[in-house]
Structure 1
């Protein structure tokens, strides 16, 4: 068999280098992109006018922002997919959304793999994105053959929805650790310790974490908090909903994650038409 044909939706900050890697690996890519700049930067992709047109592919990769976007864009795509086509979803959202989408497939049983990931656009370009796959073994195998163009390691977590649950727990822990680290920065200021000095020590000491590294990379606590707040809030809401649906008590972790220097309540969030520029930092920990 030749290289799988890949349909692609969501060529944003992370999605665009994914398409570049897929093309470089020899895949034929059918791409729907709303922004003219993206279409111009990806001349080797086969551009299509409507999202549903990507369904005429062996594997469809979706890199959309939220559950709402998925439910807005993907039902028509899933309904147009052949029974052999596999949808690979990179969105960090609610596992139940995948079940709702599956019902649009042939016989109400579309082949969907959740493919939660962690890493930056640079990691994608280097082929070092971390991707978790959840789904039926034969569907996961087909997804692996595609995401392997930009991901290593590729980890299998179980049935459909398991990769999302793993990632939501990861992001819950990241949010809690971020709140604690930012709280330590505030306390350090009160004690007369420069923020940069504390972060430099944390970077090489036992109290350090990925959160501390990202705070430094973003240029400090204030910029980091402003950037990650909408994404962490979205993911915490999804995690809380998934836990409630499963009857799991996450109150201790959610309290640690929601309360601190970053306001992470549940106000409504604006929807983004494609992944935005601030996604770059968010995808470090998604």
Structure 2
């Protein structure tokens, strides 16, 4: 069977090791990257001048940061995609953004699979990401072998947009559990318990969680908060918007996720602008 040509845009912190894994797996990769240093590191891929140059690939993988970046970059790509090209979107954002992007395709019939993922750059480099796939069965079947180059757990969640909803709910729950764990760390300090000792105890106790393990892996509460706050704040804003659009009451979960040592209210316009400047 012919190896599909994979177009890739968004070779940032997570996207770059994804490309490395695709190349190592023998995929033919065409890459758009703005940064010279990224182009140099990924020179084994076929480099293209503009994102639209990826539209003729069999599968186009997009690993952009936000809805704003998607709406800035993807419409031109989707408008030029062939009838058999499938777009894979790894962005954690709003399902409605996928619909807005799809509308640029001839007759609005773009083949798009939302592929929200869970994991770190190290997990991507090791081929151990978890990826959720939402879309038409034939489109999901097309992209599964591609995604499998950097994910060892690929879960089908339903129709287009379902993977994003699963990821948003996951991050909503993660934020709430992280807030509780960080509150526990603060309480431990007040009781004279060293942070590392408490986290080690939680790791083998019933009060432990993935959030606790992530806090430990980041080197403690402060570096964890600094690393994850911008991303969780963005995702909680998306959760609130989706809940409002769909008429789903997430107020209790959102309140729990926003209450605690992390300040997870809506991002300021200046922060959103700064984060969106980082086009991978």
Cα distance in 1, alignment partners of residues 237 and 182 from structure 2: 21
* Counterpart residue number, 1:64: 64
* Counterpart residue number, 1:274: 279
Q: What is the aligned-residue RMSD (CA, Å)? A: 1.0
**Offset at 1:224?**
0.8
Cα distance in 1, alignment partners of residues 6 and 257 from structure 2: 37
Say whether the 8 Å CA contact 1:83–1:106 is kept in structure 2. no
Greater relative contact order (Cα < 8 A, sep 6+): 1
Task: Please state whether the residue corresponding to 1:205 is helix, strand or coil.
Answer: coil
Q: CA-to-partner distance for each residue in 1:193-223, whole Å, 9 max, x for gaps?
A: 1111111101111101111111111111111
* Counterpart residue number, 1:138: 138
Aligned length: 275
Q: How high is the TM-score relative to the length of structure 1?
A: 0.94
* Counterpart residue number, 2:40: 40
* Counterpart residue number, 2:18: 18
**Offset at 1:257?**
0.2
* Counterpart residue number, 1:260: 260
State how 1:156-235 maps to structure 2 within 5 Å: 156-235=156-235
* Counterpart residue number, 2:82: 82
Flag structure 1 segments of 5+ consecutive residues without an equivalent.
276-286
State how 1:73-112 maps to structure 2 within 5 Å: 73-112=73-112
Cα distance in 2, alignment partners of residues 232 and 125 from structure 1: 23
**Offset at 1:25?**
1.5
* Counterpart residue number, 1:278: none
**Offset at 1:273?**
2.4
Task: Please state whether the residue corresponding to 1:249 is helix, strand or coil.
Answer: coil
Cα distance in 2, alignment partners of residues 96 and 274 from structure 1: 21
* Counterpart residue number, 1:2: 2
Say whether the 8 Å CA contact 1:232–1:264 is kept in structure 2. yes
* Counterpart residue number, 1:284: none
Cα distance in 2, alignment partners of residues 272 and 232 from structure 1: 18
Cα distance in 1, alignment partners of residues 239 and 182 from structure 2: 22
**Offset at 1:244?**
1.1
Q: CA-to-partner distance for each residue in 1:107-146, whole Å, 9 max, x for gaps?
A: 1110100001111222222222111100000111111021
Cα distance in 1, alignment partners of residues 218 and 153 from structure 2: 25
* Counterpart residue number, 1:243: 243
Cα distance in 2, alignment partners of residues 26 and 66 from structure 1: 29
Cα distance in 1, alignment partners of residues 218 and 131 from structure 2: 23
Task: Please state whether the residue corresponding to 2:88 is helix, strand or coil.
Answer: strand
Say whether the 8 Å CA contact 1:65–1:272 is kept in structure 2. no
Task: Please state whether the residue corresponding to 2:170 is helix, strand or coil.
Answer: helix
Task: Please state whether the residue corresponding to 1:186 is helix, strand or coil.
Answer: helix
Say whether the 8 Å CA contact 1:83–1:105 is kept in structure 2. no
